[in-house]
Chains A and B, each alone.
Chain A
Amino acid sequence: MSTSNETAIAPVETTEERMLRLITGGWIFFLLIALVAIFLILRPAQFGSAYNVQQLAINAAILLVLATGQTYVIITSGIDLSVGSVLVFASVVSAKIMLLLSGVDGTTYGTTAAGWDIIAIGIAAALVSGAAWGALNGFLIAVTRIQPLIVTLGTMGMALGGAQILSGGVDVRAMPELLVTQVGSGRLLGIPMLVILAAITVVIAGIVLHLTRFGLHVFAVGSNAEASRRSGIPTTARLIQVYAISGFMAGIAAVMANARFSTTTINGHAMDNLATISAVVLGGTSLFGGAGTVFGTVVGVFIPIILLNGFVILGIPPFWQTVAMGAVLILAVWIDQLKRRLRKRG
Chain B
Amino acid sequence: MSQPLLEAAGIRRTFGHVQALKGADFKVYPGEIVALIGDNGAGKSTLVKILSGADRPDGGSLKVEGEEMRFSSPLDAQMHGIATVYQDLALAPDLSPAENLFLGREIIRPGALGRLGFLDRKAMQAQAVQQFAKLGMQLKSQRVAIASLSGGQRQSVAIARAAMWARKLVILDEPTAALGVVQTQRVLDLCKRVRDAGTSVVLISHNMPQVLEVADRVQVLRLGQTVADLQAGQSSVDDLVRAMTSGQAKETSP
Minimum CB distance partner of B98 in chain A: A9
Distance A13 CA – B141 CA, assembled complex (angstroms): 10
Contact A346 B94 (CB under 8 A): no
Query: In the complex, how many angstroms separate the beta carbon of A288 from the nearest chain B beta carbon?
Result: 8
**Residue B29 is within 8 A (CB to CB) of chain A in the complex:** no
**Residue A39 is within 8 A (CB to CB) of chain B in the complex:** no
Contact B156 A223 (CB under 8 A): no
Number of interface residues of A (CB under 8 A): 37
**Residue B190 is within 8 A (CB to CB) of chain A in the complex:** yes
Distance A226 CA – B86 CA, assembled complex (angstroms): 12
Interface hit among B17-25, B41-49, B111-119, B232-240: B111-119
> Which residues 118-168 in B have Cβ within 8 Å of A in the complex?
118-119, 132, 136-145, 147-150, 152-153, 156-157
Contact A9 B157 (CB under 8 A): yes
Contact A7 B92 (CB under 8 A): no
Contact B99 A7 (CB under 8 A): no
> Which residues 93-111 in B have Cβ within 8 Å of A in the complex?
93-95, 97, 99, 103-106, 108
Distance A214 CA – B116 CA, assembled complex (angstroms): 10
Contact A216 B138 (CB under 8 A): no
**Residue B1 is within 8 A (CB to CB) of chain A in the complex:** no
Contact B119 A211 (CB under 8 A): yes
Query: In the complex, how many angstroms separate the beta carbon of B223 from the nearest chain A beta carbon?
Result: 30
Contact A223 B93 (CB under 8 A): yes
Minimum CB distance partner of B74 in chain A: A230
Contact A216 B90 (CB under 8 A): no
Contact B141 A212 (CB under 8 A): no
Contact B136 A7 (CB under 8 A): yes
**Residue A222 is within 8 A (CB to CB) of chain B in the complex:** yes
**Residue B231 is within 8 A (CB to CB) of chain A in the complex:** no
Contact A290 B157 (CB under 8 A): no
Interface string of B199-226 (1 = CB under 8 A from A): 0000000000000000000000000000
Identify B190's interface contact among A7, A11, A213, A291, CB under 8 A.
A7
Contact A233 B103 (CB under 8 A): yes
Minimum CB distance partner of B107 in chain A: A213
Identify B137's interface contact among A7, A212, A222, A230, CB under 8 A.
A7
> Which residues 221-240 in A have Cβ within 8 Å of B in the complex?
222-224, 226-228, 230-233
Chain B, interface size: which category? Answer: 35 or more
Distance A108 CA – B179 CA, assembled complex (angstroms): 73
Distance A223 CA – B145 CA, assembled complex (angstroms): 11
CB contacts (< 8 Å) of A231 on chain B: these are 90, 103-105
Interface string of A269-309 (1 = CB under 8 A from B): 00000000000000000100111000000000000000000
Known: A7-B186, A9-B149. Contact between A227 and B90, CB under 8 A?
yes
CB contacts (< 8 Å) of B147 on chain A: these are 340, 343-344, 346
Contact A7 B104 (CB under 8 A): no
Minimum CB distance partner of B75 in chain A: A232
CB contacts (< 8 Å) of B186 on chain A: these are 3, 6-7
Contact B103 A10 (CB under 8 A): no
Contact A220 B138 (CB under 8 A): no
**Residue B8 is within 8 A (CB to CB) of chain A in the complex:** no
Query: In the complex, how many angstroms separate the beta carbon of B151 from the nearest chain A beta carbon?
Result: 10
Minimum CB distance partner of B93 in chain A: A223
**Residue B61 is within 8 A (CB to CB) of chain A in the complex:** no
**Residue A1 is within 8 A (CB to CB) of chain B in the complex:** yes
Mind listing 11 A-B residue pairs with CB under 8 Å?
A8-B138, A11-B140, A220-B103, A227-B88, A231-B90, A232-B104, A233-B104, A290-B92, A290-B95, A291-B145, A344-B147
Binding site for A on B (CB under 8 A): 74-75, 88-95, 97, 99, 103-106, 108, 116-119, 132, 136-145, 147-150, 152-153, 156-157, 182-183, 185-186, 190
With A7-B152, A9-B139, A226-B88 already in contact, 15 other A-B pairs whose C-beta atoms are closer than 8 Å: A3-B185, A7-B156, A8-B138, A8-B139, A9-B156, A213-B108, A216-B95, A219-B94, A232-B75, A233-B104, A289-B94, A290-B94, A290-B95, A343-B147, A344-B147
